[in-house]
Structure 1
């Protein structure tokens, strides 16, 4: 969905779904990132964290939101401010509730691509752990059908929520961001000690964890931060890291949602910026993939 500059209008807030349903805001098909092969990535709505560089600001609120694209508006004298009645599509709803059966049916539309490419389904967000019970049941269904499964998570939840879900995954794409405990809490609202404890727990339980480090100028893209990542990973049986360079592609969404873009004017790092950090990780013995 292309998001052009617009302004947010009064939203219709719907109670968060039960364990029988989930709230998502996008299904991205034919993705070559976020896991092996051709993947269908399902984006769950709601996130407790506040990363300044977030590329999906529409994922943060757990509520279904209504926005207006000003360029599409016909500016009629009478406007009902109703998504279902808008003739031009200027009004759009971000987020919808899905059932287990309904989401399984949508995911299986791509089954032929999963089979031919060793691909599968990845649950992303937002933060999928906010709807962990539903996600666990959903991935269990896919695994019974022989479909490869993965989640992308910051790992900042109770082990009781994380571990059952991770056990339904072929891969857990585990984000490691700011490695200073105080800064991680103040800037991102992330409990770093719990995150690191959870990552160790997953590895100890034989779950395939792939750490992913966003390379964000001014936050994580430093030798010191990379050293802390490597120190944490050194005792663990992990041999692959993903480096995710910052990009500004999410900026137009902030205008749509009438939120400030805190990374304004910060350019994406180029290969020469990334190379020293990549070399550090490779020298420590890791296979590196740049990008998801």
Structure 2
């Protein structure tokens, strides 16, 4: 597998405008990331660098191109055009969409939303990087009675987060490492701002569902989990989603020509996960595994 990243042009900057957004995937029929059957929109670009990220293609805000060697026919000459590639070996990661185009696509699944109580979740990457577009999209969907949610790390100025949260039926809020220095160095995350935003969402009466990835050696430590659960109970939150580490995204790193930092790290065994669930439930938290 080899990768090719298009040379930088003005079109590769994340379009921080209300009219267009840069996304890299739309996932239908999801039973996670919110209630009911959901359609997920993955926004491209993320300011954080979580070593366990399962979507490394989301990190760069640039449009990228990759070539899957196993599928490549070695055409001569290769046009490096994902739409023209006869074997699907050449793939474009990221595309720009207008508000109308994306909304029309999402509403194709409306019958599933209505029948299951599901809806649309905006994920990433980090949707807060494209907050103006996302806020307009969510507001339009809600006017049509569609259940809306975002998944976010919450690390942005409060007015930007609030503009999205006010258009959501629920906010899936990621909590990772509750040590400020480790969060800054490992994740490029401002923990003080994250925790202040979390508390502000709760005070504003917005439904918040905390989500905790269980990553051996990083988040899955007794001290870190104790801090997280204590923070949740102090805010009066009563549920948490626990997301055990998996390695499904590892092949994507190879495809992108990157090194997966957690190569060789084992997924947590069922006994370890069960112990974490028991710890959370003992504090009165309702636990969902896997989101």
Instruction: Answer whether contact 2:23 2:41 (CA < 8 A) is retained.
Output: yes
Partner of 1:269: 268
Partner of 1:284: 283
C-alpha displacement of 1:91: 0.8
Distance 1:238 1:148 in 2: 21
Matched, 1:208 2:203: no
1:19-55 deviations in Å (ceiling 9; x for gaps): 2100000000000000000000100000000000000
C-alpha displacement of 1:262: 0.6
Distance 1:115 1:81 in 2: 41
Distance 2:286 2:84 in 1: 52
Distance 2:253 2:174 in 1: 22
The normalised TM-score by structure 1 is 0.96
C-alpha displacement of 1:165: 0.5
1:243-278 deviations in Å (ceiling 9; x for gaps): 000000000100110000111111211210112211
Distance 2:266 2:96 in 1: 36
Matched, 1:160 2:159: yes
Instruction: Answer whether contact 1:74 1:88 (CA < 8 A) is retained.
Output: yes
Distance 2:111 2:82 in 1: 34
Instruction: Answer whether contact 1:23 1:95 (CA < 8 A) is retained.
Output: yes
Partner of 1:225: 224
C-alpha displacement of 1:12: 4.5
Partner of 1:9: 4
C-alpha displacement of 1:76: 3.0
Secondary structure of residue in 1 paired with 2:109 = helix
RMSD across aligned positions (CA): 1.0
Instruction: Answer whether contact 2:127 2:134 (CA < 8 A) is retained.
Output: yes
Partner of 1:99: 98
Instruction: Answer whether contact 1:63 1:95 (CA < 8 A) is retained.
Output: yes
Alignment of 1:66-215 (within 5 A): 66-215=65-214
Partner of 1:3: none
Runs of 4+ in structure 1 off by over 4 angstroms are none
Partner of 1:259: 258
C-alpha displacement of 1:223: 1.2
C-alpha displacement of 1:159: 0.3
For structure 2, which runs of at least 5 residues remain unmatched after alignment? none
Deviates more, 1:127-136 or 1:262-271: 262-271
Instruction: Answer whether contact 1:11 1:67 (CA < 8 A) is retained.
Output: no
Instruction: Answer whether contact 1:12 1:65 (CA < 8 A) is retained.
Output: no
* Number of aligned residue pairs: 287
The normalised TM-score by structure 2 is 0.96
Alignment of 1:25-44 (within 5 A): 25-44=24-43
For structure 1, which runs of at least 5 residues remain unmatched after alignment? 1-5
Distance 1:98 1:77 in 2: 31
Secondary structure of residue in 2 paired with 1:87 = coil
